[in-house]
């Protein structure tokens, strides 16, 4: 089954490119940029990846990305990810990135934008992997700053496929970001948002109503609200679920207890994704294999979820038809 799952052309819709930073590359980039890491070995970094919850992960995630400074660093980061994605049989990737987390460290927008866009072009020509770019805003920072950063990114607006919303969810309701999402929409740029990961089902409804997003990242806590489930089913709003991430961040105690089967039985539009593969113990293939082992899903189940992802992807119609 693993071989078959590897060969199934998969689309990854929920991936933080900064969360693909493997410890080996973290050390190489720290050396290159003269950054001192608070670890003395790759093993020590991996040993630190034992999280209690989303905030405890985010602390290490923001610390780790401190080694990323130049356009070349972002290019190398994304190419290392694309090489692994190719081994996993990933055909299409939507990369989210957090420009504010770089700006606050003095890294200008050019570095992530130009580095990531160059890597996306290279992945297409080298591996035949198509991609999209999602500019994400940090929900635990000021919404006014998000709007300013979005305006600063004007030179790249035509290269952005969507805007997103991530970082610490609890006590940071999505509605505060309505202005920047509306501004993006006015320019023809759609929105996606993390909701219902550590936050309640109410945040999923709020993201849908106030940000007018076209997909929900995670969304697993929707099951707490039957009316919301009915709405998500009727509109077939895609949920980008990240099984191994949810276990690592203790959204669910074990994968066997994950609400994925219940989400699918409720008729929801479910896709499988890896979130932050370097931190959560596996890429797309690991997530697929883990779900096969936990839920006994058949080939038809995986084909169904892969089709959901291709249908929900930001990609040219020609590419979509080729992958369906």
Query: Binding mask 14-43 vs ligand HPA (x if CB under 6 A, - otherwise)?
Result: --x--x------------------------
Query: Binding mask 253-292 vs ligand HPA (x if CB under 6 A, - otherwise)?
Result: ----------------------xx----------------
User: Does residue 197 carry a catalytic annotation?
Assistant: yes
Closest CA to 12 of 315, 284, 323: 284
The minimum distance between CB 318 and ligand HPA, in angstroms, equals 31
Specify burial of residue 125 (Cβ count, 10 A radius: 0-12, 13-18, 19+): exposed
Number of residues that bind ligand HPA (CB under 6 A): 11
Q: Tokens for 307, please give them.
A: 């089709």
Q: Tokens for 45, please give them.
A: 């970094």
Number of residues that bind Zn ion (CB under 5 A): 1
DSSP designation for 235 = H
Nearer to ligand HPA, 170 or 319 (CB): 170
Q: Tokens for 131, please give them.
A: 């991609």
115 touches ligand HPA by CB under 6 A: no
What is the edge-to-edge ordering of all strands in the sheet holding 238-241?
192-195, 215-218, 238-241, 269-272
Q: What is the bridge-based pairing of β-strands 215-218 and 162-166?
A: unpaired
The correct pick among 84, 92, 194, 292 for binding ligand HPA (CB under 6 A) is: 194
Give Cβ neighbours of residue 168 (< 8 Å, ≥ 6 apart).
54, 55, 58, 139, 140, 198
248 touches ligand HPA by CB under 6 A: no
Any binding-site annotation on 172?
Answer: no
Any binding-site annotation on 69?
Answer: no
Active site residues: 197
Show binding-site residues for substrate: 276
The residue ranges that bind Zn ion (CB under 5 A) are 275
The residue ranges that bind ligand HPA (CB under 6 A) are 16, 19, 54, 61, 166-167, 194, 197, 245, 275-276
């Amino acid at each position: 089954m693993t071989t078959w799952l590897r060969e199934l052309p998969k689309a990854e819709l929920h991936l933080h490119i900064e969360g693909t930073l493997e410890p080996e590359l973290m050390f190489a980039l720290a050396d290159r940029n003269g950054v001192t890491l608070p670890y003395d070995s790759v093993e020590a970094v991996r040993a630190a990846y034992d999280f209690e919850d989303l905030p405890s992960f985010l602390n290490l995630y923001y610390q780790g990305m401190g080694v990323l400074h130049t356009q070349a660093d972002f290019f190398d980061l994304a190419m290392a990810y694309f090489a692994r994605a190719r081994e996993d049989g990933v055909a299409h990737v939507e990369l989210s990135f957090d420009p504010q987390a770089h700006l606050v460290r003095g890294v200008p927008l050019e570095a992530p934008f130009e580095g990531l866009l160059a890597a996306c072009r290279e992945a297409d020509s080298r591996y035949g992997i198509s991609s999209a770019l999602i500019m994400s805003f940090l929900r635990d920072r000021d919404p006014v700053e998000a709007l300013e950063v979005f305006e600063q990114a004007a030179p790249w607006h035509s290269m952005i496929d969507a805007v997103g919303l991530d970082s610490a969810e609890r006590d940071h309701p999505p509605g505060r970001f309505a202005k920047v999402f509306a501004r993006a929409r006015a320019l023809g740029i759609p929105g996606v948002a993390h909701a219902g990961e550590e936050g309640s089902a109410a945040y999923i409804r709020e993201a849908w109503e106030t940000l007018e997003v076209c997909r929900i990242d995670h969304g697993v806590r929707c099951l707490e609200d039957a009316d919301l489930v009915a709405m998500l089913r009727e509109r077939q709003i895609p949920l980008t679920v990240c099984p191994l991430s949810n276990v690592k961040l203790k959204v669910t105690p074990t994968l066997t207890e994950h609400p994925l089967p219940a989400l699918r039985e409720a008729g929801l539009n479910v896709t499988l994704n890896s979130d932050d593969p370097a931190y959560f113990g596996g890429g797309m293939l690991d997530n697929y294999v883990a779900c096969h082992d936990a839920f006994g899903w058949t080939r038809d189940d995986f084909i169904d979820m892969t089709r959901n992802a291709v249908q929900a992807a930001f990609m040219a119609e020609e590419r979509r038809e080729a992958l369906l």
